[in-house]
């Protein structure tokens, strides 16, 4: 067992944790470590290796703004290329020197006396301890697979594979396969499996809206231009970003304006499926945008294949050999693929982070709902910054944009705490409450609240606590500077300091709380 102390500990080496590490290095902070239970950078893009895994945000936008990649091979990138990109960026910034891979953080607890976070983690089968002044949580919302709560699940004797824990050695050729789920992961897996399996049953609980996917390989002349024409890539990126913001406006303020998207989806169904009954079965019964809008050209034609059956009767139970639906039909299979998503609002990670009053994030959020100030700081959890925390999720554009907004906030946190000798910050409860009331007000008119669907954007109270409503540039504006006046702060020599007294004279006044409200 080892113990060591650092200024900052980052958990997670995906887009957000790596981005934090790069920004810290650029700020001259060298005393930090990055812990990840995997063996390299990439997070969700390292773990999701199922067949067909790809991003549904165009390549030019789905990258760091400070590390544009003119060599993307396709208009939408696939998992291996994104994984390679993330590792190349890490190498370029020499972040590997700070990484402790294979480290599974079991518990992180704030020690009030020491004014530090104490982390217990396992590495190479041994227990270790680490203390840090600041803890950055970059584990991401899509890291803990959600297994379906179906009777008999544990009884099944065949193979079970979750989309995010794919067994790349398993040969699906000629097998009888069941796929549970029709979300973003399933619609990518099913067309790939459909090419090789003997027979596949696809269990659909809720039909999603799916628009065509405008994916194509880039010509070498285009890659040349991305590299050599100044500003071209940034301009394309800006164009994609702006278009997506229009969609965000529709989702938040005027769901009826999304009718053209619905028409596009209906045309996609019509084009992909010949059988009228099947067309009806795959047509969603909620407003477009209420759940993530998916993109695929292959999903509907695959469902129309002879070796594929769409099963819409609810699953009653799983037996030793297969799945039984509510109408009593039993379908035996060799393998069950569970593409059933992630623990987002109930992640087990929340149990392991314990704040100043001895309560875990899970306990606080169970009582108060999943909330943070600017998606980043939670009252009662001093010096903890969450990346992609509550109310930062998106269904329409690149999460990397939100991450980079939070990285601006992190950089200014580092600058201000250093400049003023601040050792402890805790967001004030009233500031956090006002911020979240603003979010909930903005959400009232949104498709996520009014669209008539159940989604993983909602927490156990039925509140949308995952998503950022409205324009993402509002979030960018609100995270531009670390607004000390929203925090209780302490310095090393003075246990409690009024925030205003450490506010710099040239600092802009605190930005309005909430989103656009």
**109 backbone dihedrals φ, ψ, rounded to 5°:** -130, 135
- Does 494 participate in binding ligand N01 (rule CB under 6 A)? no
Q: How many residues bind ligand N01 (CB under 6 A)?
A: 26
**Residue number with CB closer to ligand N01 (336 or 486):** 336
We find the least distance from the C-beta atom of residue 292 to ligand N01, in angstroms, to be: 4
CB neighbours of 317 closer than 8 A, spacing ≥ 6?
150, 151, 152, 323, 324
Say if CB 20 and CB 387 are below 8 A apart.
Answer: yes
Element (H, E) at 20: helix 15-26
**Binding of ligand N01 by 148 (CB under 6 A):** yes
Among 16, 77, 163, 391, binds ligand N01 (CB under 6 A): 163
355 is a contact residue toward ligand N01 (CB under 6 A): no
Question: For ligand N01, which stretch binds (CB under 6 A), given 114-122, 132-140, 180-188, 213-221?
Answer: 180-188
Q: Does position 206 bind ligand N01 by CB under 6 A?
A: yes
Cβ-Cβ contacts under 8 Å for 517 (sequence gap 6 or more): 438, 441, 442
> CB under 6 A: which stretch of 18-26, 116-124, 182-190, 255-263 binds ligand N01?
182-190
85 in contact with ligand N01 (CB under 6 A): no
Which residue lies nearer to ligand N01 by CB, 360 or 455? 455
Smaller CB separation from ligand N01, 148 or 380: 148
Q: Is residue 189 at the binding interface for ligand N01, with CB under 6 A as the rule? A: no
- Residues in 45-84 at the binding interface with ligand N01, rule: CB under 6 A: 54-56
Counting Cα atoms < 13 Å in the Cβ hemisphere of 173 gives 2
- Count of residues for the chain? 517
- Rounded to an integer, what distance in angstroms lies between the CA atom of residue 449 and that of residue 456? 12
β-sheet bridge partners, residue 402: none
- Based on the shown chain and the rule CB under 6 A, indicate whether residue 40 belongs to the binding site for ligand N01: no
Kindly give the residue spans of alpha helices, DSSP state H, lying in 212-258.
Answer: 220-228, 232-253
Could you tell me which stretch among 179-187, 265-273, 302-310, 435-443 binds ligand N01 (CB under 6 A)?
179-187
Cα 378 from Cα 325, distance rounded (Å): 43
DSSP states along 155-198: G--SEEEEGGG--TT---TT-EEEEE--STTHHHHHHHHHTT-S
Residues 427-456 that bind ligand N01 (CB under 6 A): 454, 456
Q: Segment 280-319, which members bind ligand N01 (CB under 6 A)?
A: 292, 315
Closest distance between ligand N01 and the C-beta of residue 262, in Å?
17
Contact positions vs ligand N01 (CB under 6 A): 54-56, 142, 148-150, 163, 180-186, 203, 205-206, 292, 315, 339-342, 454, 456
């Amino acid at each position: 067992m080892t113990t060591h102390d650092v200024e900052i500990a980052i958990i997670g080496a995906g887009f957000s944790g790596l981005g934090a590490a790069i920004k810290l290095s650029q700020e001259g902070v060298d005393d930090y470590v990055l812990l990840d239970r995997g063996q390299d950078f990439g997070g969700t893009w390292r773990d999701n290796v199922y067949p067909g895994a790809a991003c549904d945000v165009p390549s030019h936008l789905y990258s760091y703004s400070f590390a544009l990649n003119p060599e993307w091979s396709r208009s939408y990138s696939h998992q291996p290329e994104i994984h390679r990109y993330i590792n190349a960026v890490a190498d370029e910034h020499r972040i590997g020197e700070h990484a402790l891979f294979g480290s599974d953080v079991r518990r992180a607890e704030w020690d009030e006396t020491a004014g530090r976070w104490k982390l217990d983690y396992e590495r190479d089968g041994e227990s270790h301890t680490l203390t840090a002044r600041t803890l950055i949580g970059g584990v991401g919302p899509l890291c803990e697979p959600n297994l379906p709560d179906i009777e008999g699940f544990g009884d099944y004797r065949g193979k079970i594979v979750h989309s995010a824990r794919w067994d790349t050695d398993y040969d699906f050729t000629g097998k009888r396969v069941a796929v549970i789920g029709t979300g973003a992961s399933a619609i990518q897996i099913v067309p790939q499996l459909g090419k090789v399996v003997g027979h596949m049953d696809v269990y659909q609980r809720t039909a999603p809206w799916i628009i065509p996917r405008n994916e194509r390989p880039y010509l070498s002349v285009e890659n040349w231009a991305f590299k050599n024409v100044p500003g071209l890539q940034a301009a394309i990126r800006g164009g994609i970003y702006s278009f997506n913001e229009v969609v965000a406006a529709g989702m938040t303020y005027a769901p009826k304006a999304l009718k053209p998207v619905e028409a596009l989806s209906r045309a996609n169904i019509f084009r992909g499926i010949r059988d009228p009954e099947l067309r009806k079965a795959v047509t969603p019964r909620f407003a477009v945008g209420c759940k993530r809008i998916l993109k695929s050209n292959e999903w509907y034609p695959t469902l129309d294949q002879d070796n594929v059956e769409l099963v819409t009767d609810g699953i009653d139970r799983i037996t030793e050999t297969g799945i039984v639906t509510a109408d009593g039909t039993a379908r035996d299979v060799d393998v069950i693929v569970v593409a059933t998503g992630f623990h987002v609002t109930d992640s087990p990670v929340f149990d392991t982070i314990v704040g100043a009053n001895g309560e875990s994030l899970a306990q606080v959020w169970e009582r108060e709902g999943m909330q943070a100030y600017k998606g980043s700081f939670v009252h009662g959890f001093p010096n903890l910054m969450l990346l992609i925390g509550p109310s930062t999720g998106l269904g329409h554009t690149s999460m990397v944009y939100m991450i980079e907004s939070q990285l601006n906030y992190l950089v200014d946190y580092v600058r201000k705490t250093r400049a003023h000798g601040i050792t402890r910050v805790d967001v004030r409860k009233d500031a956090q409450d006002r911020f979240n009331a603003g979010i909930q007000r903005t959400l009232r008119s949104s498709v996520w609240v009014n669209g008539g669907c159940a989604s993983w954007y909602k927490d156990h109270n039925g509140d949308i606590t995952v998503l950022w409503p409205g324009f993402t540039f509002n979030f960018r504006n609100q995270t531009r500077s670390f607004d000390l006046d929203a925090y209780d702060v302490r310095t090393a020599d003075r246990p409690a300091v009024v925030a205003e007294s450490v506010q710099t004279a040239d600092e802009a006044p605190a930005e309005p709380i909430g989103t656009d409200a």
